[in-house]
């Protein structure tokens, strides 16, 4: 079954699961690295003036002027169109949920898979309902479990980008570390465990 078939089979997915991948996964990489530190006044658009080249990893230390979800806005805008987006976070805020749904509605992001933690469901029930209902109504995928991974995957126009970081899809006025890399290999590495989680959530 292909990834696109999995999207077609979406309605068999539970929206919450206690299951975890059967085994841990690891991937060793050797890439060209670019180191970026935001100054106190910069926001992401100011210093992320380009996306990484193929095989290049950008290591970014942020200054608290932007949140992790800002990468969705900047990467999607620089890509133009995102065919597939995967996002994993512990929790989200309402503004970022609305932005994500709006990007789908205007066709900038064509397919969405979102993972959150169970904390999000317990503590932000209204926002949780907004993202769950919003994605389900649009035929997209959502799964809530004991999740603390912060990973985003972007695929479009033959390019594959991965963003990993310490922050959530919320406003985080604190120092955070992030990496942004263009790599199909790393994209597929994360995509495998994400699809395994989706399959584990099927009834």
Residue 15 has a pLDDT of 65
Give me the mean pLDDT over the 38-66 stretch: 80
Q: Name the nearest CA neighbour of 190 among 159, 161, 148.
A: 161
CATH of domain 3-16+33-38+55-200: 3.30.870.10
Question: Where residue 183 falls among pLDDT bands split at 50, 70, 90?
Answer: very high
Q: Using CA atoms of 201, 99, 46, 63 in order, give the dihedral in degrees to the nearest 10.
A: -60
Residue pair 144/118 in contact by the 8 Å Cβ criterion: yes
Question: Where residue 70 falls among pLDDT bands split at 50, 70, 90?
Answer: confident
Q: Where are the domains of the chain?
A: 3-16+33-38+55-200
Residue pair 36/47 in contact by the 8 Å Cβ criterion: yes
Is 50 exceeded by the pLDDT of residue 172? yes
Question: Where residue 48 falls among pLDDT bands split at 50, 70, 90?
Answer: confident
Q: Name the nearest CA neighbour of 68 among 186, 122, 148.
A: 148
- Average pLDDT over all residues of the chain: 81
> pLDDT tens, 118-139?
878 777 788 889 999 999 999 9
């Amino acid at each position: 079954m292909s990834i696109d078939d999995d999207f077609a089979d979406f309605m068999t997915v539970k929206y919450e699961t206690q299951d975890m991948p059967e085994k841990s996964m690891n991937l060793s990489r050797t890439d060209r690295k670019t180191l970026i530190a935001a100054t106190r006044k910069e926001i992401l658009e100011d210093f992320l003036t380009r996306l990484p080249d193929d095989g290049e990893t950008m290591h970014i230390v942020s200054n608290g002027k932007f949140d992790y979800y800002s990468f969705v806005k900047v990467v999607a805008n620089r890509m133009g169109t995102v065919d597939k987006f995967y996002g994993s976070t512990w929790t989200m805020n309402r503004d970022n949920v609305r932005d994500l749904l709006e990007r789908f509605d205007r066709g900038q992001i064509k397919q969405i898979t979102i993972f959150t933690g169970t904390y999000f469901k317990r503590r932000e029930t209204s926002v949780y309902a907004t993202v769950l209902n919003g994605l389900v109504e649009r035929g997209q995928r959502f799964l809530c479990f004991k999740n603390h991974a912060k990973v985003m995957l972007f695929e479009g126009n033959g390019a594959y980008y991965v963003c990993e970081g310490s922050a959530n899809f919320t406003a985080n006025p604190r120092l955070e570390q992030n990496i942004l890399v263009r790599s199909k290999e790393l994209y597929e590495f994360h995509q495998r465990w994400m699809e395994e989680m989706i399959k584990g959530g099927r009834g």
